[in-house]
Chains A and B, each alone.
Chain A
Amino acid sequence: MKRNLRNKNTRTFEDGRTNDEFPLEAEAQRNVNYIHHRLHSPGDLMTKELELGSTGLTCVILNIDGMIDKTLIHQHLMRPIIEYDGPALDSPEGSAAIIRIKDEVLPLEEVHTISAMHEALFAILSGDTCLFMEGSRRALVVGSKGWESRAIEEPQTESTIRGPKDGFTEDIRTNSSLIRRRLIDPNLRLDSYLIGRRSKREVMVAYIDDIVSPELVTEVKRRLLTIEIDDIEGSGYIEQWITDSFLSPFPQIMNTERPDRFAASLLQGRIGLIVDGTPFQLIMPISISDAFKSPEDYYQHWLISSLIRLLRYISAFVATFLPGFYIALAEYHHGMIPSNIAFSIASAREGVPFPVFIEALLMESTLEILREAGVRLPKPIGQTIGIVGGLVIGEAAVSAGIVSPVMVIVVAVTAIASFTLPSYTFGIVTRILRFFIMVAASVFGLFGVILAFLVICIHLVNLKSFGVPYLAPISPLLPRDWKDLVLRAPVTLLRKRPQMMQTKDEDRMYD
């Protein structure tokens, strides 16, 4: 079920045609010439004229060098044609002949016939091989995609200790095979779409037919088909296009590099999108509880998983609220700090020229700069940032009396805590909210922190991801799903799929 988007560009060619949607001509050379002209005869466009055995029938093969599997073309396309020793294929239209070649001559499975120019162009540009035959108004497209791609590597952004070490790559076939290998289920659906106005990229909607809620599939597909953009460079474009609220800092679609996470999500009744050209695949719908879940939780003992999850919840709060809380206490509520700590903070702040808020802003910004620099720097220089940032700036700023040691501790704890979230995207949210809360704290103290917290809560209860409330299963309260919220109940007790996904098949286990 491929959708062909009309190419809306209206450039005119020498013969006045405005697009490529016209039937192929019987004369093979004319078709070849048009393609050459259309693509401006690039150096990597390969053209090879062959004769079918000794029948005298001319065939022309067109493909783009570097995108094709050359062995396949040589062994299974060119050789059978050249070595053909069957009876001469003569038919007035040539169509029958080309179908016979497809069915009898070529030992290939991925062959189909086309009859329009734009199909031929698309096939060649996407790495397939086109075979034109003299006298035929149809052509053959041989699936010959084969290019250099990155090997399957360990996911860089979501590492686990005990989980599988394979990660998605940029190649959609590799990725879909990674999913298929995990879910050997006839109900697994991978519906392909070609998205993009100019460059068409393949996007696969993955779901398990008898689990997922049908409305959800319809909605995801509907949103997907609204995308009208030149090219979807990576899954981020799709995510931002089909997300429920693009104003919210909270991601409503999860991205993952891990096939195990992807497959597990499908089994929970979610929908996955596999996008060509990126190792980050999308999972939807999600709720905020997914920010605290790592696939590893299910591989380890439930006690340690539950404790680690609790730790993640706490550190998410620390990462978001600690600097704001510190500002509020140090600027407004001096009586709330235990006496001894108050005295030592006061003595540490002795001589610091800035108010606590400015000091915090200074240090948090420095941290963000360091982090950004660390990401951008080439790997070999990366360590330098650690030394310069950690030692020089941290240590020197304290001994120069510009910031207090307590502030350094606060910033450091915050930074470490924000890295405990398994999803990088959610980690970013804590960073954004942190600054918001710091401002609120500096203006209104703890009152402001609570106000900011309420604002966030109000926003969260209003947020939905593909119709699923973002705070589920906390609000609305779905007690069954609490088994896999902070507590990760023993596997044998997780008998049902998440209630919030409203799956067709609720049971994970049968009695």
Chain B
Amino acid sequence: MRKRYAAICLLLWSVLPLAGCWDSMELEQRGFVIGVAIDEGNAPLHPNHTNGKQSFKVTFQEVIPAGLKQEGGSGSSLAGESYFNVTLEGKTMLSIIAKMSTMTSRTPFFEHLKLIVVSEKVAQSDYGFANVLDYFLRNNDARRNVSVMVAKGEAKSVLSTVPQGEKTPVMFIQSISKNQDTYRMVPETRIGDIHEYLLKRQSFVIQKVTSKDSSISLIGGGIMDGIKNNLVGFMDEMETAGFNFLREGIRGGVLEVDVGDNLVAYKVEQVSRRVNTDLSDPSNPKFTIELWVEGSILEAFERRDYLEQPTIEEIEAKVNESVQRLVNETLNKTQNQLKRDVLGVGNHLKERHPGVWKQLEQEWDTGRNYFANSDIQVKANVEVRRIGSVNNTERR
């Protein structure tokens, strides 16, 4: 009897190790993929063939943890030792990753993925952009806060730039995109948010990354079509600035204005907006975007008494002018050239005037393109909050 109890206990106990441990893996056996760059592949494709319409050349950036470690004393660590890139071709992400496991010593692991760079070509192709993101959205490995960027030109070269001050190119790009102090970059675009846009059939702006001679720049942004989800164009530096003003997503940025014969640098600290709609003619809606811009003077070459109200007013007027200029450039780009609503005007209509939106929805920025035909006016109210710690640097 006692033996039988002992046997039963033993059997019950053995259930634990048998049922457990199956997905146990040591941390150092994981190959942490932190960045993925997706380029157009050049595998031959048969037209009308069911076996795929597109092939991709994917570059994975995997960290070498030992290379990341701070060597005591010697601060200079060789950048080449802390990561490596693998480039492979295939038709689906999964097959490419499966291929990769045969080439790297560690199992590719995507839970620490930080960045997906899609090349211009892939992003421009029909449905290519959504297709490449499908794996990263469907598989529960990757987080929904992975940054997605569009590369001007080849995506692979972005992952092979020389990182300055960071250990790997991906970390380098990551920390650049976190700098909020400028309006020349689009705010971080995460895969989770992008998924929302893809489902909502809404046009959106995506971060753009340019690599030139192994240096990186995140200035500008890509405009994605809401229906076909492909890249339709890029915004340049100034257009991005205007875009940031219009989306009130600005946390900092500098406007240089001429006061007298000299320059005064105005630092934008906060922007808030209000959209007023005039729907007297529903098929031709009129929008007035009111912007409240707050900021301070941080650099002034013009010697004036900045404590005087007229001076401040003059600066405010000048800043207002330059905000208007930036915003108009953006409006010109989005409304007249690309005809895609990335400013959120449609969204505003949807939230505040759902009845009207229902009528316009289908052809908002396609077909008849009500967006392009709508009249958008921007009114900026600029305020100087502070003039800095001193009134003047020198007496002239």
Contacts and interface: CB of A to CB of B under 8 A. Distances in A.
A344 B20 contact: no
Contacts of B30: 334, 346
Given A349-B28, A443-B17, A443-B20, A334 B68 contact: no
B112 A331 contact: no
Given A339-B112, A343-B32, A331 B26 contact: yes
A4 to B, nearest CB: 42
B26 A344 contact: no
Contacts, number: 72
A302 B169 CA distance: 52
Contact of A339 (B26, B28, B34): B34
Contacts of A334: 25, 27, 30, 109, 111-112
Nearest to A336: B111
Contacts of A346: 27-28, 30, 32, 65
Interface residues on A, range: 20 to 34
Contact of B27 (A349, A443, A444, A445): A349
Interface string B59-74: 0000101111100000
A429 to B, nearest CB: 22
Interface in B7-51: 16-17, 19-21, 23-28, 30, 32, 34
A332 interface: yes
A343 B20 contact: no
B26 A349 contact: yes
B63 A442 contact: no
A349 B34 CA distance: 19
A443 B21 contact: yes
Contacts of B321: none
Interface string A344-367: 111111101001100000000000
Contacts of B111: 334-335
Nearest to B30: A334
A350 B28 contact: yes
A442 B24 contact: yes
A48 to B, nearest CB: 62
B114 interface: yes
A345 B27 contact: yes
A348 B68 CA distance: 10
Contacts of B143: 335
Contacts of B69: 344, 347-348
B277 to A, nearest CB: 44
B24 A332 contact: yes
A348 B26 CA distance: 12
Given A332-B24, A355-B26, A443 B65 contact: no
B134 interface: no
Interface in A431-457: 442-445, 448
Interface in A362-405: none
B314 interface: no
Interface in B116-151: 141, 143
Nearest to B26: A355
A342 B63 CA distance: 11
A443 B30 CA distance: 19
Interface string A393-433: 00000000000000000000000000000000000000000
Contacts of A443: 16-17, 20-21
B320 to A, nearest CB: 43
A342 B68 CA distance: 11
Nearest to B143: A335
B65 A330 contact: no
Contacts of B63: 343
Nearest to B63: A343
A355 B21 CA distance: 12
Interface in A323-344: 330-332, 334-335, 337, 339, 342-344
Contacts of A442: 20-21, 24
A337 B112 CA distance: 9
A335 B23 CA distance: 13
A332 B26 CA distance: 8
A234 to B, nearest CB: 34
B199 to A, nearest CB: 25
Nearest to A327: B24
A73 B79 CA distance: 91
A444 B19 CA distance: 8
A347 B69 CA distance: 7
B68 A332 contact: no
Contacts of B32: 339, 342-343, 346
Contacts of B66: 347, 350
A444 B20 contact: yes
Nearest to B23: A332
**Which of A330, A342, A345, A356 has most B Cβ within 10 Å?**
A342
Contact of B65 (A335, A344, A352): A344
Given A346-B65, A350-B65, A443-B20, A330 B27 contact: yes
Contacts of A332: 23-25
Nearest to A349: B28
Contacts of A330: 26-27
A347 B68 contact: yes
Given A343-B63, A344-B68, A448-B20, A356 B27 contact: yes
B79 to A, nearest CB: 15
Contact of B114 (A337, A339, A348): A339
Nearest to A357: B24
Contacts of B109: 334
Interface string A98-139: 000000000000000000000000000000000000000000
Nearest to B142: A335
B97 to A, nearest CB: 16
Given A347-B66, A347-B69, A335 B141 contact: yes
Interface in B82-126: 109, 111-112, 114
Contacts of B20: 442-444, 448
Contacts of B114: 339
A132 to B, nearest CB: 59
A460 B265 CA distance: 66
Contacts of B17: 443
Contacts of A342: 27, 32, 112
Given A334-B111, A350-B28, A445-B23, 6 more contacts: A331-B24, A332-B23, A334-B112, A335-B141, A337-B27, A355-B26
The 6 closest A-B pairs by CB, nearest first: A335-B111, A443-B20, A347-B65, A346-B65, A347-B69, A349-B28
18 contacts: A332-B25, A335-B111, A339-B114, A342-B27, A343-B32, A343-B63, A343-B68, A345-B27, A346-B28, A346-B65, A347-B28, A347-B68, A349-B28, A350-B65, A355-B24, A356-B26, A442-B21, A448-B20
